[in-house]
Amino acid sequence: MSAAAPGWALVTGAARGIGRAIADRFARSGHAVAAADVDAAALESAVAELRAAGATAVAVPVDVSDPASVAALAERIAPLAGGRLRAVVNNAAVAVERPFFELTDAQWQRVLGTGLTGAFLVTRACWPLLARPGAAVVNVSSVHGARPLPGQAAYAAVKGGLENLTRALALDAAPHGVRVNAVAPGFVLTPAWQRWLGPPDAERGRRLAAEVAATVPLGRPATPDDVADVVLWLAGPASGYVTGAVVPVDGGLAAQAFRPIGAEDTEGSADA
């Protein structure tokens, strides 16, 4: 994999999970990393590990849904990065699993404020640091952006909006030489996912893990590093002619109409 010329990368939602893996990938490729998250304590721990590994990294606590907090983020980063960012990765997101009819105003606003408005605010605030050839924005979407599951109305609205924001921003940014793309992960083994699965030795955890393995064509969920690898590629010169794209990182999950029925029965009918 070709890496981008070293520079500063901003990663939101960098305290854990996919965001933390992305920050680590950028750091290991020689970039300096501005790691941002609303959880200041977890963020400091993540940045301490990056520094211990020899990386240049700063922790910048931020609430991406708050314009004032995002403005302070950009002001903090600008002098550190010498007025130039190589990449912005909008990864911060929250989810509420609840039927549409039970969603409260506060839940709706929190999910959209973090995952969609947050990406808008961060990219807009950082635009003066990005607006030059070679810079890149990578948004972290989800399979929910195109194929929602029940109980994910707010999250699906965010990811669908984020994918179209990616396309629209790519058009506006192209004259400046800035590329804008997104990744759309499927099942990812993050700490939040592990908590949802429950103890791996428990019956529920084993059952759900087996269902995921049977549903994903490649037979396993992604690791955060799987997603981080593609984000780094989209931010680097090897993808220099790619913009406005949403790249699935889902093991083939979104390529199928639905989980094959009776797939284990090789003698069954092919009629559908």
The candidate with the shortest Cα–Cα distance to 91, out of 51, 43, 142, is 142
Cα–Cα separations (whole angstroms), residue 153 to 43, 156, 195:
29, 5, 21
Q: How many CB atoms lie within 10 A of CB 5?
A: 11
pLDDT at 264 over 70: no
Q: What is the pLDDT of residue 258?
A: 74
- Over the stretch 205-259, which tens digit does the pLDDT of each residue have? 778 888 888 889 999 989 999 999 999 999 999 999 999 999 999 999 999 887 7
What is the four-CA torsion angle of 226, 249, 88, 26, rounded to 10 degrees?
Answer: 20
d(CA 92, CA 64) in angstroms, rounded, equals 8
Model pLDDT for residues 20-33, shown as the tens digit of each residue: 999 999 999 999 99
User: Which sequence spans correspond to the domains of the chain?
Assistant: 8-185+224-246, 187-221
Which pTM was predicted?
Answer: 0.91
C-alpha atoms less than 13 angstroms from C-alpha of 263 in its C-beta half-sphere: 9
Is the pLDDT at 272 greater than 80? The verdict is no
Choice among 8, 26, 155, 233 that is catalytic:
155
| Annotation says 241 is catalytic | no
- Helix-helix angle 67-80:118-130, to 10 degrees: 30
pLDDT of residue 195: 74
Q: Which residue has the tokens 């700063």?
A: 58
Whole-number Å distance between alpha carbons of 88 and 136: 7
Note the CATH number of domain 8-185+224-246. 3.40.50.720
Return the minimum-mean-pLDDT range out of 122-136, 146-160, 230-244. 146-160
**Residues, the chain:** 272
pLDDT band at 181 (very low <50, low <70, confident <90, very high): very high
